[in-house]
Amino acid sequence: MDNCFIICKRILSSLYVPFTEQFLKEKIFTHPKYPSLLAISDTLEEYKVDSLAAKIGPDRLDDLLLPGIVQVSLESGNYFNVITSISGSVITLFDEKGHQKKISRLDFLKIWTGVTLLVEAKEDASEPEITQKLRDKWILKTLIIISFFCLFVWFGIGLIEKSGSVLEIGYFLLKFLGLSISAILLWYQQNKTNPTLQKFCSVGEKFDCNSILDSQKFQWLNGRLNLSLLGFAYFFAGIGSLSISGFFSITILSWISFLTIPVILYSIYYQAIVIKKWCKFCLMVQIVLILEVLTIINGRFWIGGIELSSLLFFVFLFTVIIIGGILIIPTIGLQDKLYTINRELAQFKSNKDLFELILGKSRKIQNEPKGLGILMKGEKSKYQVIKVSNPNCGPCAQAHPVLENLFAKGNIDFQILFVSGNIDKQKERTVQHFLAIKDKGDSRLMMDALNDWYVSDNQNYSTFSEKYPIDFELENQEEKIRAMEDWCEKEQINYTPTLFINGYELPKEYNLEDLKYILI
């Protein structure tokens, strides 16, 4: 699993900032500077976690604001760790793989490069729309649990009705156990970075699941057909046959179980003699298969007539799962490929020379909007950004946090013009209020007012005007509104938000998110 992603998870958890893995993966894996400390810093910013990169000497270790991210140098390369506590000569941290451990101060200082990311969560630090995401996740989990519970109860009722034999029910439960183990094994084969499964599979020198699962002996169709899928299909077809046909199909299932004996023997031989490594999940499946055979022998299930329909139904279920797995498995890794494509695109689009070349070919402002709207000067601005906005425009509200963040960093001069033609009195009143606040000359107050308005889910002018009271100044803004209206007509502003960077309209190939990596 990626070190940057792991460290982001650990630092957010240590700061008690709620997050979802999907959003975190999207932000960290698509960052144009991934993998880097900048990628981590920018990702944490999405969660309203402030960060500051610094180079700190060993004598300042005890002064670190904890938890904090540090860079360590190992034989295999440079990685990031999360320090959670410093107590005397002992450092507690999450290492490059996300495992919590304690090491001595001396050992830590040997690997610490001094590079540190100091972090601090704001009071409202969280993932955007986290409440809705967690609620949806809870609903999905609940539905999955209910569906599996109902399925298991349905299987159980069917078994009780169709059989009075304890051995037959035991045979079914072995099928269910085998299906569960095979499902976990199938999951592991597609997600080998899962730390829990990795730990289970690799404990001890003699155990290594990957040595078995990745062997070409057990891979077919370019890896899309493997032992995990075969095992899952075998147990699923068995459960399906018992559930639909009842124990009338147990005779044919018994003979099929006998056919697994050579597979068991070969698997044990391959692990013990050929590669001298054992796969724990494979051994668990083999134990279930052996118990199946013993149950069949004890219950004499193989005695009886073989119904062709039962055999055909088993083959049908078995092949459907195999075909489905062959078709679905290649799509499992598409998300990671998509992250890679988006990251490469972000790297391409964050090239400043390319951006300025394309920007220079875009539409240029013909009339300078000097003195119009709201202008806030950045402390170290390199770019002039003009946003033509509408006070009740959804996309304008979404654009504001990105531009506000760039302005807060001092990177841009930020000018906002409002489209006021053919708008109702309420919207015009809002624009007048903004302009009146601007006349007070307090840029911090101005930005707070803009943030309150655009970030609010319910843009209510009455509430806004009570929080930012203005008296007679409102009526003095009429001429300014007409001037902005004339400018918008001359520049043929047809939609909001319309953005201009250094006098040129933002090219359609770029979006607001791209500006975070360009206007720095």
354 has pLDDT over 80: yes
Model pLDDT, residue 162: 56
Identify the weakest region by mean pLDDT among 62-76, 320-334, 443-457.
320-334
How far apart are the C-alpha atoms of 23 and 29, rounded to whole Å? 10
Residue with tokens 């997050």: 19
164 has pLDDT over 60: no
Q: Strands 77-87 and 90-94: what pairing?
A: antiparallel
CA dihedral in degrees (256, 257, 260, 264; nearest 10)?
180
160 has pLDDT over 70: no
134 has pLDDT over 90: no
Model pLDDT, residue 69: 95
Q: Which residues of 277-303 are buried (b: 16+ CB within 10 A; e: fewer)?
A: bbbbbbbbbbebbebbeebbeebebbe
436 CB neighbour count, 10 Å cutoff: 19
Q: Which two tokens stand for residue 127?
A: 């993932």
Distances (CA, A) of 111 to 11, 95, 108, 240: 20, 12, 5, 55
Q: What is the pLDDT of residues 317-351, one digit of tens each?
A: 999 999 988 888 777 667 778 888 888 888 888 88
Distances (CA, A) of 510 to 6, 15, 351, 416: 30, 34, 12, 20
pTM of model > 0.85: no
68 has pLDDT over 70: yes
210 has pLDDT over 80: no
Model pLDDT, residue 420: 63
Model pLDDT, residue 2: 85
Tell me what the mean pLDDT of segment 178-197 comes to. Answer: 78
Model pLDDT, residue 507: 93
Model pLDDT, residue 93: 93
Q: What is the pLDDT of residues 251-270, one digit of tens each?
A: 888 899 999 999 899 888 88
Distances (CA, A) of 220 to 228, 286, 447: 12, 21, 61
Model pLDDT, residue 192: 65
441 has pLDDT over 80: yes
Model pLDDT, residue 155: 64
Model pLDDT, residue 248: 66
Helices 3-14 and 37-46, packing angle to 10 deg:
40
Share of the chain above pLDDT 90, in %: 33
Mean predicted lDDT score pLDDT of the chain: 86
Confidence of residue 505 (pLDDT cuts 50, 70, 90): very high
- The H or E element that residue 379 is part of is none
Q: What is the pLDDT of residues 7-41, one digit of tens each?
A: 999 999 999 999 998 899 999 999 999 999 999 99
- Per DSSP, the three-state class of 74 is strand
Which of 512, 499, 513, 519 is closest to 416 using CA atoms? 499
Tell me what the mean pLDDT of segment 416-422 comes to. Answer: 76
Model pLDDT, residue 117: 94
Q: What is the pLDDT of residues 295-307, one digit of tens each?
A: 988 888 888 777 7
Distances (CA, A) of 141 to 135, 137, 146, 215: 10, 6, 9, 35
Tell me what the mean pLDDT of segment 56-72 comes to. Answer: 91
422 has pLDDT over 60: no
Tell me what the mean pLDDT of segment 107-122 comes to. Answer: 93
Model pLDDT, residue 462: 85
**Strand locations in 294-425 (E):** 374-376, 383-389, 412-418
